[in-house]
Structure 1
Amino acid sequence: MPQQQTTNYDGQSQGDDNAEQTGLIAHESTQSVSTVIPFNEEITTAKNRLHLLLERLSEDSVELRRRLDLLEPRQVEAEQALRQHLAELETLTETTRAISSTLQTVEEGQGQLKEQTAAEFKELFLALEKIDHRVVALEPTPAKVRLLDEKLSRVDEQLNKSTEELFAQTNELGRRSDRNESYISDLKRRNYKLEEFTHHLSVASKRLGQSFSFRSRLFGAGLALVLLALLTLGYLFDQEHQLNELQQLHQASNQALIQTNREALTAQNENIKSIEQSINPSFDVNSSAITIAVHDSDWVLLQKPEQMTIELYGTRNKSEAFNYIRKVQSLLVEPVSYVKTELRGRDWYVVLYGIYATEVEGRAMMSVLPSVLRQQNPTVRQFGWIQQLL
């Protein structure tokens, strides 16, 4: 019994469930029928919208095609511009490579330049050391001044000795000339006696002729004349020979005297040249007409860099510089110097004049120079600037 009741209860439950499901399906069917009509309207509306979208899409495709037709030439231009840019990019790349190579070459050149500069600085330091040594060697120490005084004293002594020897030789030459004059007078006196002897002989011949026949007189006169001629010729030859020997002796003594004086003057000239070289080593001794002191670059290097000087003349030839100094030396009262520099890769010789404390003082001096010294357009220079060029 209890089991049967349970079964009925389950059957009743199932029936109720089926009834509920059936009601639900009926209700849903009613709702679906009620919703079909609005759904169809929505489909129609969607179709209309779809048609509108298709029309717009066709219009857009036409517009797009038109725009594509317009873009094709631009695309070609863009491709050409792109190719051009690519070519420029390649050129730029090659230029960059060339610049890199150039920079590498420049770096190598800078390294070589540094090495060369270091070598030049080393040479410059060596040159400065040499200049210092030369400056020390050129300093007028008391020992050098004393040595120069001794040399000048020896030169004066040699000049005095040579002058005395020259006077003695001149006196000897005068005595020989007097002797020659006395000898010539003696020859004239002997010639006069010979003429007297000839006259006496002719008188004797006449007297002898009076006592002999004409033939004997003629023969005696001829023989006497022959003897007289022979004696006269012998005497004249002997006198001429003695006179020639005397003249040769006189000429030889004159030549020896001239040669001795020439050697003495040459020795004195060499001594003077050596002294000039010791005072001014670079002085051109061939320009003997220059009587003023001409200083060289060593003297210029010893001057204070801040001091000023006047550049009077410039030329490419050293001899022309000395010729200029020789021509105007009578007008130069200040210290004169010359230096060798370079102008456009060639030697350039400059004549400098005076030492002045300031540029104003140098210009004031330049304004009162004689017109001859202002013909070459002189310029005021600083010693420091000149020293940098040496």
Structure 2
Amino acid sequence: MLEAFTENRIVIEKSQKSLTFIFISSCCEYWGGSEELWSETARYLSSHGFKVASFKNSVRNDNRIKQLRADGIKVRDIHILILFLRKFSFFLEKNIPFLINLKVFYLKISSWFTKKRNSTLFVISQGENFDGAEIAKLCIQFDLPYIIISQKASDSVWVHGRRRRMMQDMHRQAKASFFVSQHNLFLTQAQIGYKLTNAEVIKNPYRVDISQPLRYPQTENDVFKIACVGRLWILDKGQDILLSVLAQEKWKNRDLHISFFGNGVDREALIDMANLLELKNVSFPGFVENIVDIWHDHHALIMPSRAEGLAIALVEAMMCGRMGIVTDVGGVSEVVEDDITGFIASGASFQEIDKVLERAWQRRYEWENIGKEAFISIRKLIPPYPERIFADKLVQLCQSDVPIQI
């Protein structure tokens, strides 16, 4: 991995610095794990002298945005444009003439972008595997080279009709399509109905920089502390299932505490649900900037997700020497070995979450050693600086006149 990264860096150092990269995030959240790959890659390319611009669906002046701006990368809000495109996507389908006069992405992108197509690459980063379809449609109409990142594909969400046709065109005409797990790649191919010959799995960056597993925390009064880390969004993350499981008397009476870290639209709903169920062994500490702080005093991770790409929270927990209690969604089984580096539920249901938590609980005095195995295993699967590897791929794609068969 390290040798490959060294070679990749040489490519970037020798490349023409006249290349321009336009990053566009179609994810509707202000910030989430799906934003880390494009933003860290943008920062890396900018630091090496490449021209970088970025546009995002909904911008709030949080720490990540401030960091990008401090590095000289402006982040422009295109929320209104994306709402317009989604509401009137049938105009794009019919190629209504007035759209030809629409300046690229509503943002006064200079005409030299279109004059220098061969040295410019648009990077469309999706929270799902279809939410950037309207942006890709504009790229196709303006004959602008682009690549697609898909951060998640869900077994329960299949787009249809016009949206599916746009999704097909988006992937078919991209210079390359990138996914964060093999599961997401295979599922997307099933959803669009053909095999992608220009697709590849790329890993997300993570915010853990340690060379040894964190010291395993002592148990106070023999209470084991599990962290549920992720956006408080019931539809995907499934925290409601976990709360229902914990409402059983057997879990209420055990020496177990679960902390729900993160923010999201369902925070109040989950707190109200916990109060309704009279759960005394849960808490909602909110968002934590430094993820390592969580693992100084929590023994394991639990993720009852209904859908994932490949959760950065899981990778970071394993990097810190903490095992995961997880559902078999997205790329989870690509990095966790059941009963060896963690515990995997076959699905996101009450029965399966209860069973996997019970299995883990019966082996709770082994969690430290399982976490150490996870620490070793994950480093064989995830390279040290995924954003730098991805940056090199973008440079090569930007210099290529035709789609690359990956």
Report the TM range for the smaller structure's normalisation: under 0.3
Larger Rg: 1
TM-score by length of 2: 0.18
Q: Which has the higher contact order (CA 8 A, sep 6+)?
A: 2
Q: Which has the higher helix share?
A: 1
Q: TM-score w.r.t. structure 1 length?
A: 0.19
Select the structure that is richer in strand. 2
